[in-house]
Amino acid sequence: MSEDPKNKRLFGTNGIRGIPNEDLTPEFCMMIGKAIGTFFNGKIVIGSDNRLSGDMIINAVNSGILSTGSETVMIGVLPTPAIQYYCKKHALPGVMITASHNPPQFNGIKCIDSDGTELERTKEEKIEEIYYSKTFNVSTWNNIARSFHDNSGFDLYVNGVMNMINVTKIRERRFRVAVDTGNGAAYLTTPELLSRLGATVVTLNANPDGLFTSRESEPKPANLKYLIDLVRSGGFDFGIAHDGDADRAVFIDSEGNFIDGDKTLTLFVKYYIKKGEKVVTPVSSSDALEEVCKKEGATVIRTKVGAPIVSRTMIQEKARLGGEENGGIIYGDHQYCRDGAMSLGIIMDIMAKEHKDLKTLIDTLPQFYITRKTIPAKSDFSSLVERLKNEYAEWEISLMDGIKLRNGHDWILARPSGTEPIIRLFTHSSDLKRSEKLSHDVENLAKS
């Protein structure tokens, strides 16, 4: 985030992110609360994940909102998609205090529209304008608003997911599932959903620890060693892991293989798509989606990276299916946002209907491989762009989001992160070793 009036953008690709008491001071959070309360000018939902700094930020944001005369509904610690579902069902805007997959020293402020979607950029700009101009609504003492508490969001959310899948068939399978909630916001919702679906559940890190002491919040293979070992040795049908706010889910098959989020997205599309439909996904997702959609008579629309961008494009294009390659499935029939619990329900639904295990289902997909790396954003990104253009001069170039260079099914994507001070590198190929070599070459080029 930048609080410099000369660079008035506060919201990144997924809310305002920063370090509490450095970027997200109580004073700043209260002022943002005043801007949010002024913009929405009505009842506002507030929820959070379980980071240690959550109470400080919630209280500051809430104080600012109440000072404008806008009431707040406090619904507690829940996954981000649960807050969004509550907003959608009650037609209320909301604020989620979370930094999603970022390390525990970060936190964030994310705004939600009354349809449950993350606030579109034009509305974020209006909040930023109110913040910088300080044109806040200021209530007289007798019109200052109050907070109310509602604990119904948990059941509303879990039941909402169950309404979208074939519960009877899933219960008949009697799945055995290992779940790692990573000390995050899904520590109750995902185990409860699995229990209601008749599964035998073994949990890892299902305690709300705001320091994420068990593992880093990002659900990537390096952070899921214990879950992978448990699934491999424990006779489970599959394992599932979430990030801090559980808008994403990644899976481990019964043999202990980590399944890339891109593959679960492709599996979802393969079994849920209908002829003539559109699928929306960012430039970072693999070519497997095009292969599947072509076979099913559907089309793929590419966007910049960012769940809000994907969701908004889905709404504009009347697309039911979409998502990102990081484990973020978006099922429009449920709600237009990434939803880790809905992803779990979808995978169980497919497994139950097809009477197949997860590895068998994944093996039927077009096989492409994405290698991901990050490097510190210490230098000017534009210089990296120029070096990539020179090094891969014969490749097709797209500047939709960062730079993407393509040669057949081989491609390279480099883009600055919208949530952390890093550059994200993606390399893609139909051959794993080729993808890894491209990644190595590009990383060396970037570090040079």
- What's domain 369-447's superfamily in CATH? Alpha-D-phosphohexomutase, C-terminal domain (3.30.310.50)
Provide the strand spans (E) within 265-378: 278-282, 299-303, 321-324, 328-331, 369-376
| CATH architecture classification, 156-362 | 3-Layer(aba) Sandwich (3.40)
What are the tokens at 14? Answer: 């997924």
CATH number of 16-151: 3.40.120.10
Cα–Cα distance for residue pair 37/308, rounded to 1 Å: 21
Fold agreement (16-151, 156-362): yes
Where in the chain are the domains?
16-151, 156-362, 369-447
Dihedral of CA atoms 436, 407, 392, 395 in degrees, nearest 10, equals -160
Residues designated as active site: 100
Bridge partners of 250? Answer: 241
Cβ-Cβ contacts under 8 Å for 268 (sequence gap 6 or more): 321, 323, 329, 331, 343, 346, 347, 350
Per-residue pLDDT for the chain (448 aa), expressed as one digit of tens each?
655 555 679 998 789 999 999 999 999 999 999 999 999 999 999 999 999 999 999 999 999 999 999 999 999 999 999 999 999 999 999 999 999 988 999 999 999 999 999 999 999 999 999 999 999 999 999 999 999 999 999 999 999 999 999 999 999 999 999 999 999 999 999 999 999 999 999 999 999 999 999 999 999 999 999 999 999 998 999 999 999 999 999 999 999 999 999 999 999 999 999 999 999 999 999 999 999 999 999 999 999 998 889 999 999 999 999 999 989 999 999 999 999 999 999 999 999 999 999 999 999 999 999 999 988 876 678 888 999 999 999 999 999 999 999 999 999 999 998 777 889 999 999 999 999 999 999 999 888 7
The pLDDT tens digits for 69-78 are 999 999 999 9
Among candidates 443, 305, 313, which has minimal Cα distance to 384? 443
